[in-house]
Amino acid sequence: MFGTFQQSNLRIEITADEQTLRKSLIEPEQMQKWLVPIRLSNGLGEQLQQGMTYTSWLGAIAVQHYVDQVDSNSLRLVLSKGIDGFHEWYWGDGWVQSRLEGVSLLPLSLAQSLSLLRLRQFLLARHS
């Protein structure tokens, strides 16, 4: 894989309970609403399940996601293609944390920051 090794940990306060955050992070229908302009594979079902694989696209750049772990308040994805690494999510009442490590040509910390901001905006709009 070409690129540089990058790592980023971000945690934000967010107006949402643990269950709402879980749905937003593991239900593909909900994920697609806040991940715009990223597109997800079709036919993912109602929830991400351990052992499944899906692809996301940002324009022509594809990232393959292997769902390594799904728990009541965490999600771990192993990434390949456009990013070789992993993405971990943790959440609870009023907060969400994202940990991203990988080798990529993409600016991972910028993408991670924008994703968290989009998630916050999505949940604020739902709460209004």
Cβ neighbours around 109 below 10 Å, total: 14
Alpha-carbon gap, residue 120 to 47, rounded angstroms: 20
Backbone φ and ψ of 2, nearest 5°: -90, 150
Domain with 95 in it? 4-127
Which pTM was predicted? 0.94
Number of domains in the chain: 1
Query: Could you report the per-residue pLDDT of 53-82, keeping only the tens digit for each?
Result: 999 999 899 999 999 999 999 999 999 999
Where does the pLDDT of residue 126 fall: very low under 50, low under 70, confident under 90, or very high at 90 and above? confident
Predicted local confidence at residue 104, as pLDDT = 94
Q: What is the CATH number of the domain that holds 100?
A: 3.30.530.20
Query: Which of 113, 111, 86, 101 has the alpha carbon at shortest distance from 5?
Result: 101
